[in-house]
Structures are given as C-alpha cells and as structure tokens.
Structure 1
Amino acid sequence: MASTHTSAAASSTMPTKTRDIHNHHMDSTVWDDLKFRPDDIIISTFPKAGTTWTQQITCQLLHAGDEKVAPNALSPWVELRVVPRAQMLQMLEAQESRRFMKTHLPIDALVFNPKAKYIFCGRNGRDSMWSWHNHLFAATDMFYQLFNDNPGRVGPALRRPSDDPRDMFMQLLQDEMDPELGWQFWGHILGWWEVRSLPNVLLIHYNDLKADLDGEMRRIAKFLEIPEMSPEQWKAAVEHCTFDWMKAHADLAAPQQAEMAWKEGAASFIHKGTNGRWKDILSEDDNRRYLERARKELGEECAQWLENGRLQGAVKLD
C-alpha cells in the first residue's frame, strides 16, 4: 500500500539517491556513470505529463527558435533500458551543444547534481492516466517486444492495457500503478514537490503551459539563463512550441522508431494534447475519491497544484 504523506513543506536539503529502479523500461544505474557538466538540464516528469512538450520548449530556447532542430535527436531518455548503457553514455559524452536530458525517475532513484538544472513538469493525474493509456493501447506488438524481449529485463513484462482507460485510473484509487502497466505515481510527484525550493529546481505544469505558453517559456528561459533572443527568434520559438505546430511536425519530437512502435506512428506519440477526456467517463464518486486520495498522499498544497497548476491554483512557487 502506498505510504501516506501529510506534509508538503519544501526542503532545502540536496536530495540523495537511495535506491535503483529496474523494470521493463528503466535501468536507473546508467545515471551513476554519467559525467555531468555544469550547464546540464534534466527534464523530469511522470509519463505523459508534458515530457515531450518540455523537451521541445527547452530545445527551442537553446537553439533560438530554429525549427529544424529535432529534440528527439538531442534529448535522450537516459535510463531507457533498450539503449545499451555504453551507447547511451557515449552519445551523451559526444554531444557538443548544451545537453538537455529526459528522465522518468522519481527523485530518490536519480543521481542529483547540484550544478545541473532540473525541470519537473506536473499534470493532473487523471489527464496523465488517459494519455498514458492511449500511449500503451495504441502501441504495436513490436513496441511490447522491444521492451519485454530486450535482455536484462527485471520484473514483470509490460502488457497492453484494457480498452477502458478507467481501469488504469482505478489503480490510483485502490493502491498504485500495476508494474505491468507503469510505475508509482503519488510518491513520484511528492518527491519533486518537496525539493521545489532548491535553486536548481523549477516546477512547471501542463495547465500553465496551455494557459500562458509565452509567459511560462519566459519563466523557463530565465531559470535556464538563456541568452536574450531577438523578437523574431522569440516569436518563432513560441510558435514552434504550440501543440498544433508540434502535431504537424511530430517526426521531430517522436522517437525515431515511432512508425514501428505505434499504430499511427508519430501521430500517435503526439496525440491530442488536451485535458479533461475523463470528465464524461468518471462518476462524481470517482472524482471525489481521486481528490481525497491526492490530498492524503500529497498534502493539500501539492494536491491543489497538481490539480490546477500554478496560475489557476494560486500556488506560489517562485
């Protein structure tokens, strides 16, 4: 059973790695051998909570709105088990431009470097579940073979979910995510929330990016200490981070194997970008139980932030 947390007070203590995670997707030990650089950027999320969007934003900020730069080629998922460790580390070591790496690890399984900058993007848990369900349900048999048949897998195989996303949602109410479908949710969110006051950590939210993309990009640019762009470059950067533009250029952000891994290729990976698909499916009791569980696991302030974001939730983060 998931542990109960009653405090969401921010910590100023630098986190330390206390465990490793091995499953069908991840091998957290890869981070142990990464040679950090002082200007590294690490983008962290729970799956389907704005990861690709944050990568695109970071890429556009680092490359002054250049539409030809593809984040899928520059921003690897470091602990992704299907890429051999030596190949991943060699690729990162060879990268000459400022690195921005992706992780889906909870903070207690991640090597935390005080000189690197960490961006954590949150999203309402119900929206994450609906998007995660689509991601797994739309995957091909080859996708599952890639993860399950790759040597060194620890734990159960990844399996395709049922056709009803509510089944995945119910796991959040009953206990935790089934390891055959994903990984823990509540502790993942809370771990990053509790280090939000560290100077090298920035929390952003999916809802806030939708509500004020320009403003949130400026907030991210300030945090990353991005050199000032010309007005034309900035306008281009923001345009290239809109969902419509990303959907039209999905091949730049989706994994290179997308055409084989999802039934509609990159179009499945960059899917809808919308929230609230659960509203016509979940009952009033479902939603009440979800909000109660969120408050129990995360505390009132963190639960409010996860539900609404910083702008609508009036939660002060900086």
Structure 2
Amino acid sequence: MNTDAAVWPVKSRDLHNHHFDSTVWDRFRFRDDDIVIATYAKSGTTWTQQIVGQLVFDGDPAVNVAELSPWLDLRVPPAEAKYAALEAQTHRRFIKTHLPVDALRYSPAVRYIYIVRDGRDVVWSMYNHHANANALWYEALNDTPGRVGPPIEPPPDSVRQYFLDWLERDGHPFWPYWENVRSWWQIRHLPNLMLVHYEELKRDLPGMMRRIAAFLDIPIDEARFPTQVEHCTFEWMKANAGKAAPLGGVFWDGGAETFIHKGTNGRWRDTLTEDDIRRYEARAVAELGPECAAWLATGRR
C-alpha cells in the first residue's frame, strides 16, 4: 500500500445528535493494522463486520461481531468503556462508524471499508429497525446524558411517508445521507480505502470476500474458506442473529432476528409512486453527480 503521495482527509467538524458523539475519535488510539468499517447505516454494516470477523478469526462460528466490533461514535456505552474494551483486544481490531469523512479522524495507517446501498433500500431497512425498536432503545438514545438536539421519536405508520420525510429532510430522523455517501466517494482513490456496494455482496459473496481479504492482507485458507463464506450468508446470520445484533437484540421487539431482517432490495418498488422515484433519482444526481449516483443505484462502476 503506497501512501507517499496521498492527500489525507482532515477532520473539520463534529456531529452530535441522539446517536452520535463524533468527539470519541479524537482520543482513540489507533493501531497500524486496525480496520474501520464505515457506512451511512442499514447499508450492510453488520454483514461486512461478519465478513471481516470470519476472515480475522478463520471461520470460527462463535465470533460475536456485536461485542468485538463496537460502533465507536455511538453515544452509548461511554467512550471510556469502549476504549478499554478495544485496548484489551489482542487480535486485529475492526471498528464500526456511521460518520462522514470530515467528522472522522482518518488514519493513513488504517484500512477503511465503506459500504454503500441505494437510499431507498436503506430507508426500508431503517424503517423495520425503527418501527420495531422498544422502550429500552428510546431510553438509551434519548435519556442518556449528553444528548445534543431533539430526541428521536417513533416513526409514522406509513413507510412511504417515512421515506418522503427522509428524502425531504435529508436523512430524518437519523442523520444526513447524501453528505455521507459523497464524502467517502470523494476520497475513493486513497490507497487504504475500499468501496463496497451491497449489491456486490449479494451478486458474488465469495468473490467479494476474496477481494476484501486481499485488501486487508489476510491470506485465504482454501480449506477453511467455504466455511467462512457459509457463516457470512444471510441464512446463517439470521439463524445466529444473537452474535450480530447489539446486546443480542434486546432493543427490538422480536429480538435479534428483527435486527437481521430480510436483506433484500427493491421492496420500495411496490410502494413508491413514479413521481417519488423520479424525485429520489434527481436528488441523487444533484447531490452526488451522475457517476456516483449510477454506482449507488446499480453497484457497478
């Protein structure tokens, strides 16, 4: 990995809301072999954590990515608890973020994987996540001291209305979508960043796992590889959802299997109107430019 000629991103702002405290990155002590898994949210984060976990731990079925790979910029648990847990890890660490690049402290020595998914599919997955959240979820996000800004409220009954609110108010009620995708796309040429599309994982999981392993300099053990792939299939993850969902799924009605929901794309086609779709696609081009918008929609570059 040649980093000599690269121009590295510099953190220029902080993000705070019911979920975020981006200042946690300011005091985090990187290791040179750390892996950061970044997404907007509901874009394949847990799937990619599972892939990296299986590669790092040689296909061990007991790997619990929810415990091993914390969401560092989440306000809970406290930053010091996450620092201590990560400092105690002796294996190669892999850490999750949902921040845009300019709110993140970016290290030239670390490998970053950014996973993207069509915004319409993101919203459908997010709606399931939000609509099935229980009182513990709202208590953790809204009542933990230090929240900046308004609380997160229950979603409307209509997923279409949820989508329209998200589109009109850019990511409401979570956080801005377009700047997140745009910020990572703009640094796509950096040697320590790999961009992955959710559709690529669906089209060719074994091939993408080999690409990710190569990017991370993790040798493939051909004898173990079929088991690693099996442990990264949606069916296996759904059957073992307690190892992927935060705290085993206690924040959602239905538990961990609600968190690992369907994994399918295109469900919005049965609900959105032609005008809704045109508005979204026009916004994507305006926010991202035609090349990035096409990649976002198709997973092909």
> What TM-score do the two structures reach when normalised by structure 2?
0.96
User: What residue number does 2:18 align with?
Assistant: 24
**Aligned mate of 2:136, from 114, 133, 142:** 142
Runs of 4+ that moved beyond 4 A: none
User: What residue number does 2:91 align with?
Assistant: 97
SS at match of 1:246: helix
Alignment pair present for 1:55 and 2:45: no
CA distance in 1: counterparts of 2:59 and 2:88, whole angstroms: 23
Q: How many residues align?
A: 297
Q: Give the 5 Å matches for 1:171-210.
A: 171-178=165-172, 181-210=173-202
Aligned letter for 1:219?
R
Shift of 1:183: 0.2
SS at match of 2:267: coil
SS at match of 1:121: strand
Alignment pair present for 1:304 and 2:294: yes
Shift of 1:232: 2.6
User: What residue number does 2:68 align with?
Assistant: 74
Aligned letter for 1:305?
W
CA distance in 1: counterparts of 2:114 and 2:167, whole angstroms: 24
Shift of 1:227: 2.0
User: What residue number does 2:232 align with?
Assistant: 241
What are the ranges of 5 or more consecutive residues in structure 2 without an aligned counterpart? none
Alignment pair present for 1:223 and 2:219: no
User: What residue number does 2:244 align with?
Assistant: 253
SS at match of 1:102: strand
SS at match of 1:232: coil
Shift of 1:224: 0.3
Residues 148-203 of structure 1: per-residue CA shift (max 9 Å, x gap)? 0001111000111112121232135424123xx20000010000001111000000
User: What residue number does 1:276 align with?
Assistant: 266
- Contact 1:34 1:89 survives alignment (8 Å): yes
C-alpha distance 158-257 of structure 1, shift in aligned 2 (>3 A): farther
Moved more, 11-20 or 208-217: 11-20
- Contact 2:210 2:220 survives alignment (8 Å): no
Aligned letter for 1:264?
G
SS at match of 2:38: strand
Aligned letter for 2:77?
V
**Aligned mate of 1:164, from 128, 140, 158:** 158
User: What residue number does 2:279 align with?
Assistant: 289
Aligned letter for 1:50?
G
Residues 110-169 of structure 1: per-residue CA shift (max 9 Å, x gap)? 000000000000000000011011101110112101110001111000111112121232
CA distance in 1: counterparts of 2:247 and 2:113, whole angstroms: 24
Aligned letter for 2:23?
T
Shift of 1:22: 1.1
Aligned letter for 1:284?
E
- Contact 2:113 2:193 survives alignment (8 Å): yes
% same residue: 53
Alignment pair present for 1:43 and 2:44: no
SS at match of 1:96: coil
Aligned letter for 2:136?
M
CA distance in 2: counterparts of 1:253 and 1:46, whole angstroms: 18
CA distance in 1: counterparts of 2:36 and 2:20, whole angstroms: 16
SS at match of 1:171: helix
SS at match of 2:269: coil
CA distance in 2: counterparts of 1:168 and 1:225, whole angstroms: 41
> What TM-score do the two structures reach when normalised by structure 1?
0.91
SS at match of 1:279: helix
SS at match of 2:296: helix
Moved more, 78-87 or 49-58: 78-87
User: What residue number does 2:145 align with?
Assistant: 151
**Aligned mate of 1:120, from 114, 120, 123:** 114
CA distance in 2: counterparts of 1:168 and 1:303, whole angstroms: 22
CA distance in 2: counterparts of 1:278 and 1:118, whole angstroms: 30
Shift of 1:37: 0.5
